[in-house]
Amino acid sequence: MKAIVLCAGEGTRLRPLTHTSAKHLIPVANRPVIEYTLDALREAGLRDVGIVVSPNVEEEFRAALGDGSRFGLQLSYIIQERPRGLAHAVQCAREFVGDEPFLVYLGDNLLEQGVKAFVQAFEGGDANALLLLAEVDDPRRFGVAELRDGRIVRLVEKPKEPPSHLAIVGVYLFDRHIFEAIQSIKPSARGELELTDAVQALIERGHRVKPYLLKGWWKDVGLPEDMLDANRLLLETLEPRIESPVPEDSRVIGRVAIAPGVTIERSELRGPLVVGPGAVIRDSFVGPFTALDRNVVIEESEIEYSIVMAGATIRGTGRIDHSLIGRNVVIGRNERPPETYQFVIGDNSRVQLI
């Protein structure tokens, strides 16, 4: 069985960060989002993976992931020339998957327990399609599945009156019939070929479309607050390790992972948090649920519940909270402010606080 990971979206809800980087390569707990997906596929026994990308980010993905060998996978890159919907993205992988069953994974999803049990359920069953579903409090924000006698009989996108509380997670298993269904559908009102429409076509043609209920948490990291929440969830499972010296004038409290080559002076680090190689933390407080990537500099500042990407510098800012800060950003001040700031700042930005 092969897998395809859909990564061709433009990530408009994460701008300005996605003006300079694909959202699937934004780090959460100091690892790009897509790496957690690749880990889940490997753990499920899938080795041959196609990454569906748009032409403008192909080289960025290749540079970040290579041929997949360091993940124990064989990666292929499949181009979706124009953003014409998820069903079209799946259709782009037709030649790659051939006539065998395959898994589809939306690349901006994170699943606590991966997809191993999901794949095993499909291989041991008789479904033409298996959809991963999660019970949610407010299904009106999602595609929703209606079930009858153990099968999915209808899919409704963002319904005002949901037929159930079962949201479509964004991980699917299909056999070859899905390609016939895609060929039969027309673009939606927004001009895209919708995967939910293709699955509905499978149902109407009498194919067996079955549900699989998610176990553990699920995060769609399409918004800054979702990125930060996913960062929190992953850091809650952090294994502590300290690979750089902590001087007597500093304190490390709780579950903290510090990479080699980190400089710490007159500071307090309170976990769970992760600090990447080459970082400098001086005269500062770094609080829980923070991820500082490689070569980040934090001086005379306080920060918590935030993601700070590689090469960023934060100097003399007072307190920063609930922030997503891009690569090589510089934040500084002339006078120490009394307020707490909140930021979503793209790569190579500069912010001066006066």
Task: Please write the tens of the pLDDT for every residue from 58-110.
Answer: 999 999 999 999 999 999 999 998 888 899 999 999 999 999 999 999 988 99
Q: What is the pLDDT of residue 83?
A: 80
pLDDT band at 121 (very low <50, low <70, confident <90, very high): very high
Please tell me whether residue 131 adopts helix, strand or coil conformation: strand
pLDDT band at 337 (very low <50, low <70, confident <90, very high): low
pLDDT above 60 for 338: no
| Structural domains of the chain, ranges and CATH numbers in brackets | 2-234 (3.90.550.10), 238-353 (2.160.10.10)
Both tokens of residue 139?
């299904």
The tens digit of pLDDT for each residue in 29-56 reads: 999 999 999 999 999 999 999 999 988 8
C-alpha Rg value of the chain to the nearest Å: 22
**Residue 45 — left, alpha, or beta (φ > 0 → left; ψ -120 to 50 → alpha)?**
left
Q: 0.95 cut: is pTM over it? A: no
Q: What is the pLDDT of residue 343?
A: 74
DSSP labels, 247-304: -TT-EEESSEEE-TT-EEES-EEESSEEE-TT-EEES-EE-SSEEE-TT-EEEEEEEE
18 or 313, which is more confident?
313
Query: Under a CB-based contact definition with an 8 Å cutoff, are residues 312 and 326 in contact?
Result: yes
